[in-house]
Amino acid sequence: MSSGVDVNLENIWIKFGDFVAVREANVNIKGGDFFSFLGPSGCGKTTILRAVSGFLNPSEGRVLIGGKDMAGLGPNKRPTALIFQNLALFPLMKIWENITFSMEVAGASAVERRKRADELLDMIALPGQGDKFPSELSGGQKQRVAIARALCAEPDVLLLDEPLSALDLKLRQHMRTELREIQQRVGITFIYITHDQGEALTMSDSVAVMRAGVIDQIGDGHAVYDTPATPFVASFVGENNVFRGKVSAINGDEATITSNRSGELLSKITPTAVGKMKVGDDAMMFVRPEMLQMGEGDAKSTISAKVLNEEFEGNTYSIYLEGEGGKQIKMAMPNLGNDPHKAKGDMVSFNYNANNAVVMPAGDLASE
Amino acid sequence: MKSNILFGRIALGVYFLIFFGYLIGPLVVMGLTAFNSAAFPSITPWQCFTYEWFGELFKDERILNGIKNSFIVGFGTVILSVSIGLAASLVLTQVWAKWRSTYYTIIIAPILIPGVVIGISTLVFWRKVSDSLGGVAFMNNGLFLTILGQSTFIASYCMLVFVARLQRFDPGLTEAALDLGASHTQAFRKILLPFMRPAIASAAVLAFLASFENYNTTTFTFGSYPTLTIELSQMVRYGINPSISALAVIIVAITVFGALALEVYRRRTKLKAGEIKPAKGLPSWLYGNIATILLVLMSFTVIGMLSTAQSYSPQQCKADFREARDLETRLKIEALQAARAAALAEAAANGEATEDAGTDAPAEQGGSSGAFGGVFAPTNLEDAAGQGDGASGGAAAPASPFGNVFDPTNLEDASGTSGN
């Protein structure tokens, strides 16, 4: 197996007529990394992937793979292999023929191909299934065949276009781990496209969050989850409670906002916005449901609300609260065996640690 | 209510009867005429069961030549129109999204243009091209023109078949092949072409059948290579015999065989896939389906017919029939003679009356027959009947009085000379 190579996108613009699908994308992917593009459907992430694999040419900018400019090279000349969203296994070919298609077009003999196919089938834990047709396999098996087929081409970069979206939840979770294992074993660069933030966070070394053709933030899972750069990232990745208001005080990397309905709230400023906010600006403060806890805390981080509903989800309780002026707030508590049950309509106070909340200039939220 | 339903069912049954009678009736009648020894295709009067028209058919140089030409044209048309149709459908579904509907209209137009127009324009166009190049022989060749003329519209049929199949093709498969390092040619040959194979097969069958039965375009372009349809139409013009029916029987049999075999194959595939269950109480090779049974029955019929044809001879029956007809004719003649004698007697009686009244006219000299130039002489009729034996039917019996105009040998001469 070849080791991973760097992939660099330099100032990529992709336009279809008047429509700008990707705007000024600058991404540096380190060799051997598992890199994800995360975003809602239609945000341009698949378009970027197609530009990397060579199915379309960027209107502006360069795609570099291993430092080499890929301009003018078709998909069959690039050291990439793509795993399609619908897998695109060849229905009229047997599994082993599917897997070794890249060898067939390169002129390898049937004996050689068969041998390689058997090796790869062992690797993906489907030994002896080579003579079946794709239609005879289950979803997860097809998934693994598609991976084997891509790996058989010995690419420097493996591109995956939402390959898990067609699988059911259990299988999806299983395949996540498996993909990650395969990636670490073969050591090549993976570029993964998904709209599922769970997939992106569990598997990736780095995540690029995209919105409407623009990359809002690039960082590892912690950075994206804990210190989102924009309201979009904050609301798209995971669940979040948003408090709108105006900045009333700034103290270094901490700010206080006067929220519209929940009073004065203190939190830290997200790193990318430090120094860019001033008193009086419209701002949004985000605090995750699991960062809230029952009880009184500091005055600037305590909110009171009425219990609307409680949902038991096994490992957690979700408690839905209604604050001042109908403000909806969600709180998540781990199930520690001590039933935190509150009656509907109870008034409760809860607080958060200001370090676990972020504030940033107001902007668009991800639409649910 | 119940009577209403019953009435509806009966009406439906009658409707189906009429409908299928309308569809299949002519074929059945034509099939039967192939086995009747009457010299003109007919089932009434039924003369003798015979296979001779099949022998006649395979002795007919022109029909055999027509079949040969039809096959050459058919294969040429299949190759040309399948490739044109495939190319056209690929362009339609994969390129030029903007111009798709315009392109579709243009490519489909030949189906809407009358075949006659296509025939004439093919002829005129290639003559012009040939002339402008100083007379290129092959451009005026009947086979060349017929294949091109027919392919003009048959390619459109093929394209429709391909488009239907291509719409189910996932372009992602081609992309996947390219991504795995295949060239565009390899992706086409290894991915798209295998996917299109069933459609190519059905388009080829369709093209061949359309070419085989084509008349109106071919009639302008065939030159010195008349196809079967052209030959048949010419035969109808110059006189027809049941060997045409024999040909029809063969064609129908092949068609039904093909259809049944296909059905058997499809049922077997379905059975293997578990979509249907085999019927109980039947041997497994039959797979309990009606198509297999029919196919087997038909095979037996054909084998039976072929083997009996070796030994069966309708000569005895024909002789009997001839005898019976002669007898019938003789009876007719006798009846006629009797009637005539009666009329004669009456006339004689009248004559006698006048003779009695008038001069010494020679009444016994020749009777009144002399006045009609011997036309009604009984011996005349006997001769005519004798000659009529070789002719097609009893209608020829009173022929000779009309100066041999209806003599069957006349016709034979006529067709003989015109045929050469």
Any chain B CB within 8 A of the CB of A133?
no
pLDDT for position B70: 92
- Note whether B381 and B397 are within 8 A (CB): yes
Q: Inspect the interface and report whether the beta carbons of B183 and A76 lie closer than 8 Å.
A: yes
Q: Nearest-CA residue of chain A relative to B185?
A: A105
Domain ranges of chain A: 7-226, 239-361
CA atoms within 13 A on the CB side of B35: 10
- Note whether A266 and A254 are within 8 A (CB): yes
pLDDT for position B361: 45
Q: Which residues of A touch B173 (CB under 8 A)?
A: 88, 90-91
> How many C-beta neighbours within 10 Å does residue A221 have?
18
**How many CB pairs below 8 A link A and B?**
58
Q: Hey, what's the torsion of the CAs at B272, B278, B283, B284, to 10 degrees?
A: 10
- Adjacent-strand bridge partners of A331: A319
Q: Which residues of A touch B195 (CB under 8 A)?
A: 91-92
Q: Can you tell me the distance from the alpha carbon of B382 to that of B364, in angstroms, rounded to the nearest whole number? A: 24
Q: Can you tell me the distance from the alpha carbon of A191 to that of B292, in angstroms, rounded to the nearest whole number? A: 56
CA angle A227, A231, A236 (to 5 degrees): 85
Any chain A CB within 8 A of the CB of B395?
no
Could you give the 3-state DSSP secondary structure of residue A293? Answer: strand
Q: Can you tell me the distance from the alpha carbon of B25 to that of B29, in angstroms, rounded to the nearest whole number? A: 6
Comparing CA positions, the residue from B178, B251, B170 lying closest to residue B209 is B251
pLDDT for position B19: 94
Q: Nearest-CA residue of chain B relative to A99?
A: B180
Is the confidence at residue A107, as pLDDT, over 80?
yes
- Note whether A208 and A38 are within 8 A (CB): yes
Any chain A CB within 8 A of the CB of B175?
yes
Supply A126's token pair: 């489907």
- Which B positions 193-212 lie with beta carbon below 8 A of chain A? 194-195
pLDDT winner (highest mean) among A1-10, A44-53, B411-420: A44-53
pLDDT for position B14: 94
pTM given for the model: 0.68
Q: What is the DSSP letter of A296?
A: -
Q: What is the largest CA-CA distance in chain A?
A: 75
What string of H, E and C letters represents the secondary structure of B24-80? Answer: HHHHHHHHHHCCECCCCCCCCCCCCECCHHHHHHHHCHHHHHHHHHHHHHHHHHHHH
Backbone angles phi, psi at A288, to 5 degrees: -70, 150
Who's near B90: CB < 8 A, 6+ residues apart?
A: B162, B166
- DSSP per-residue codes, A179-203: HHHHHHHH--EEEEEES-HHHHHHH
Q: Which residues of A touch B194 (CB under 8 A)?
A: 92
The correct answer on CATH 3.40.50.300 for the domain covering A7-226 is yes
Q: Which amino acid is at A104?
A: E
Burial class (CB in 10 A: 0-12, 13-18, 19+), A160: buried
pLDDT for position B156: 92
pLDDT for position B30: 85
Q: Which residues of B touch A86 (CB under 8 A)?
A: 170, 172
Backbone angles phi, psi at A268, to 5 degrees: -85, 155
End-to-end CA distance of chain B: 70
Sign of CA dihedral B187, B188, B191, B192: positive
Residue ranges, chain B, pLDDT below 70: 1-2, 95-96, 273-289, 352-420
Q: Which amino acid is at B361?
A: A
> How many C-beta neighbours within 10 Å does residue A66 have?
16
Backbone angles phi, psi at A178, to 5 degrees: -65, -45
Can you identify the CATH homologous superfamily of domain B58-311?
MetI-like (1.10.3720.10)
Who's near A164: CB < 8 A, 6+ residues apart?
A: A143, A172, A175, A176, A179, A194, A196, A199
Q: Can you tell me the distance from the alpha carbon of A150 to that of B226, in angstroms, rounded to the nearest whole number? A: 57
Q: Inspect the interface and report whether the beta carbons of B179 and A86 lie closer than 8 Å.
A: no
Backbone angles phi, psi at A216, to 5 degrees: -80, -35
Q: Which residues of A touch B190 (CB under 8 A)?
A: 101, 104-105
pLDDT for position A3: 62
Distances (CA, A) of B49 to A18, B32, B257, B317: 80, 9, 24, 8
Q: What is the DSSP letter of B353?
A: H
Is the confidence at residue A285, as pLDDT, over 60?
yes
Supply A278's token pair: 């001033």
Q: Which residues of A touch B183 (CB under 8 A)?
A: 76, 105
pLDDT for position B365: 46
Q: Average pLDDT, stretch A89-97?
A: 90
Any chain A CB within 8 A of the CB of B173?
yes
Q: Average pLDDT, stretch A305-316?
A: 86
Supply A253's token pair: 């990397």
Q: Edge-to-edge strands of the sheet including A68-69?
A: A19-29, A7-16, A60-65, A68-69
Q: What is the DSSP letter of A367?
A: P
Q: Can you tell me the distance from the alpha carbon of B295 to that of B289, in angstroms, rounded to the nearest whole number? A: 10
Secondary-structure breakdown of chain B: helix, strand, coil percentages, each rounded to the nearest 5: 75, 0, 25
- Note whether A140 and A179 are within 8 A (CB): no
Q: Which residues of B touch A53 (CB under 8 A)?
A: 179
The alpha helices in B134-280, defined as continuous H runs, are 142-166, 171-179, 184-187, 193-212, 218-221, 228-238, 243-272
Domain ranges of chain B: 2-55, 58-311, 315-341+373-415
Q: Which residue has the higher pLDDT, B334 or A263?
A: B334
pLDDT tens-place string over residues A223-240: 899 999 999 999 888 888
Could you give the 3-state DSSP secondary structure of residue A283? Answer: strand
The minimal CB distance from B181 to the residues A53, A84, A102 is found for A102
In this structure, of A267-271, A344-348, B27-31, B183-187, the range with the lowest mean pLDDT score is A344-348
H helix or E strand, kind and range, residue A175:
helix A169-186
Q: Which residue has the higher pLDDT, B267 or A131?
A: A131
In this structure, of A187-191, A257-261, B47-51, B70-74, the range with the lowest mean pLDDT score is B47-51
Q: Average pLDDT, stretch A32-53?
A: 88
pLDDT for position A129: 85
- Which CATH number, 3.40.50.300, 1.10.3720.10, 2.40.50.140, 3.30.1520.10, labels domain A239-361? 2.40.50.140
Q: Which amino acid is at A76?
A: N
Q: Inspect the interface and report whether the beta carbons of B175 and A90 lie closer than 8 Å.
A: no
Q: Nearest-CA residue of chain B relative to A89?
A: B173
